[in-house]
Amino acid sequence: MKGNCTVILAAGEGTRMKSQKPKVLAEVLFRPMIDWVIDCVKTCGLQDNNICVVTGFGKEYLDEHLPQSIVKVVQEERLGTGHAVMQAKEFISAHGNANVLVLNGDAPLMDSDTVSHALEYHKRSDSAVTVISAHVDNPTGYGRIVRDAHGTFSGIVEERDATDEQKAINEVNSGAYWFNCQALLIALDKLATDAKYRLNSAKEYYLTDAIEILRSIGQRATTFNSKSSDVVLGANDRVQLAALNEIARKRVLEKHMRAGVSIPFSDGVIIDPTVTIGADTEILCGTVLRSGTVIGKGCNIGPDVNLSSCVIGDGCHIVSVYGEDAKVGADTSVGPFARLRPGTVIGKDARVGNFVEVKNSSVGDGTKISHLSYVGDADVGNNVNIGSGCATVNYTGKEKFRTTIGDGAFIGCDTSLVAPVNVGERAYTAAGSTITEDVPSDALALGRARQVIKKDWVKSKKPYKK
Ligand code: UD1
Ligand code: CA
């Protein structure tokens, strides 16, 4: 794809989304639609500096969202898709005699195979323009692919201009095209200057008119028919957005199932397209795996798990867990009802049980934190046992301090470890202790008031109740 470039149209408002943000930032599987489109062209081998996005409505949101290295041009007034591409004239002419891919920023299901195969066909057929088309069940709203009596592609007619006969055509324009750069520049000039095209029924500059223009000067226009009709799908409102999400969700789940992941009941299972999962892992209902997450082989994940940027080793059991930016070693069990906050690294064969929260801490191999504890800003060694109801007291209200617990230590139930504090290897803390000083290895630390028994105290007290 070297030398080629792409122009992505993203200036539209998307009125029916009823959003302050540009439509292309609406999300499919937690990723803005424009990111899907950019991923697609990058998979085809295009670099950021060969990608030009036409922004307009809500441009400040896109300026913030898109990397600086992507070229941006602004369409001040929304005068149609042809006008949008005109804003990128300089960018297109800088690409000499290469080819330019024009894409709609709101069609996230366009895929890199279709785009690459369309380019091969475009070159092989020596076309000035190749329109990616698809056959759809319901063509309403799309531009129709019009052919002459010999079946030769003659142009695209928009819904509003189509005759009843043309409206029945179910081959539609996806809004994605490969143009020879020079041919497109010629067509754009003609589109801007020829009254026939300027003053159409919509008072817009239609990019689709480029087909007729190029054909009229003896250039070749062809269509590349996509195998999947999903490539044309865009979202004009949030109902259509939900439909796109469902298609994308099912595609991702199918990909994993074919790769050996069990998803026996897919209710509420939502997996970001960048997530990887090892074979023989089973994913149960209500599991949401967000970007940056990697799951090993032979795990049981779910029900009710939400992970973002988490790396889970092989053979783990993760049930009812909310995790962010955390790493879990092989054969470890987390949950039910546990929270792993950013900076958590848990070793192998460990256990983080119910109602346990771990934050910015390392927890060694074989360590067990089975119930109702908080471990924050701590370095916990291997084979440590942390009893029920323990807390690292890491925050003074101003500053945070770390707690260190050596290998094989035993932290009794309801111990408060007031940081900064170190508990040595194999040391014990007595249940209910407040540990404010370092505990040497192999020692027992007791940090609690001695128990006092007041004999017959109840009898001497005025009865509370008769
Ligand atoms: C367009 C095509 C239609 C095709 C359909 C596929 C034209 C005239 N029609 O129609 O044949 O079937 O896409 O989805 O091209 N945009 C701008 N500036 C503008 C207008 C639009 O940047 O002034 C952007 C939008 O943000 C959007 C894309 O261009 O990403 C397509 O615009 P839209 O108005 O949705 O085009 P359609 O009418 O759907
Ligand atoms: Ca559209």
The CATH number of the domain holding residue 263 is 2.160.10.10
CA 185 – CA 179 distance, rounded (Å)? 9
Chain-centre distance for alpha carbon 367 = 33
Residues facing residue 301 across a β-bridge: 283, 318
Residue 253 covered by a domain: yes
Residue 300 and residue 227 share a domain: no
CA 431 – CA 445 distance, rounded (Å)? 10
Task: Say how many Å lie between the CA of residue 131 and the centre of ligand 2.
Answer: 16
pLDDT at 197: 86
Residue 96 covered by a domain: yes
List the CATH number of the domain containing 97: 3.90.550.10
**Residue 247 burial by Cβ neighbours in a 10 Å radius (0-12, 13-18, 19+):** middle
* CA trace torsion 76, 82, 86, 88 (10° rounding): 90
Amino acid letter at 48?
Answer: D
Residue 290 and residue 180 share a domain: no
Task: Say how many Å lie between the CA of residue 236 and the centre of ligand 2.
Answer: 7
Residue 455 covered by a domain: no
pLDDT at 196: 86
CA 398 – CA 187 distance, rounded (Å)? 65
Residue 458 covered by a domain: no
Last residue of a domain, one of 232, 251, 276: 232
Residue 195 and residue 93 share a domain: yes
Residue 144 Cβ < 6 Å to ligand 1: no
- Altogether, the residues listed in the chain come to a count of 466
Residue 242 and residue 200 share a domain: no
Total number of domains in the chain: 2
pTM: 0.90
Chain-centre distance for alpha carbon 240 = 18
Residue 228 covered by a domain: yes
Cβ(437)–Cβ(419) under 8 Å?
Answer: no
Residue 253 and residue 115 share a domain: no
Residue 284 and residue 190 share a domain: no
CA 312 – CA 152 distance, rounded (Å)? 54
Last residue of a domain, one of 203, 232, 261: 232
Residues with a known catalytic role: 371
* CA trace torsion 178, 180, 182, 184 (10° rounding): -30
Residue 264 and residue 201 share a domain: no
User: Which atom of ligand 1 is nearest to 174's Cα?
Assistant: 6
Residue 132 covered by a domain: yes
Handedness of CA 274, 279, 281, 284 (dihedral sign): positive
Residue 202 and residue 275 share a domain: no
Residue 109 and residue 251 share a domain: no
Chain-centre distance for alpha carbon 14 = 21
User: Closest Cα to atom 39, ligand 1: which residue?
Assistant: 142
Residue 49 and residue 163 share a domain: yes
Residue 289 and residue 414 share a domain: yes
What number of other Cβ atoms are within 10 A of residue 195's Cβ?
A: 6
Residue 457 covered by a domain: no
Residue 81 Cβ < 6 Å to ligand 1: yes
Residue 207 Cβ < 6 Å to ligand 1: yes
Residue 464 covered by a domain: no
User: Which atom of ligand 1 is nearest to 172's Cα?
Assistant: 12
Nearest CA to 308 out of 299, 295, 317, 297 is that of: 295
Residue 105 Cβ < 6 Å to ligand 1: yes
Task: Say how many Å lie between the CA of residue 174 and the centre of ligand 1.
Answer: 10
Residue 104 Cβ < 6 Å to ligand 1: yes
105: containing domain: 5-232
Ligand 1 mutation target, pool 21, 81, 132, most atoms within 8 A of CB: 81
Cβ(418)–Cβ(434) under 8 Å?
Answer: yes
Residue 225 and residue 271 share a domain: no
CA 367 – CA 348 distance, rounded (Å)? 9
Residue 383 Cβ < 6 Å to ligand 1: no
Per-residue pLDDT tens digits of the chain, which is 466 residues long? 668 999 999 998 888 999 999 999 999 999 999 999 999 999 999 999 999 999 999 999 999 999 999 999 999 999 999 999 999 999 999 999 999 999 999 999 999 999 999 999 999 999 999 999 999 999 999 999 999 999 999 999 999 999 999 999 999 999 999 999 999 999 999 999 988 887 788 789 999 999 999 999 999 999 999 999 999 999 989 999 999 999 999 999 999 999 999 999 999 999 999 999 999 999 999 999 999 999 999 999 999 999 999 999 999 999 999 999 999 999 999 999 999 999 999 999 999 999 999 999 999 999 999 999 999 999 999 999 999 999 999 999 999 999 999 999 999 999 999 999 999 999 999 999 999 999 999 999 999 999 999 998 888 887 666 6
User: Closest Cα to atom 14, ligand 1: which residue?
Assistant: 175
Last residue of a domain, one of 179, 207, 232: 232
User: Which atom of ligand 1 is nearest to 158's Cα?
Assistant: 11
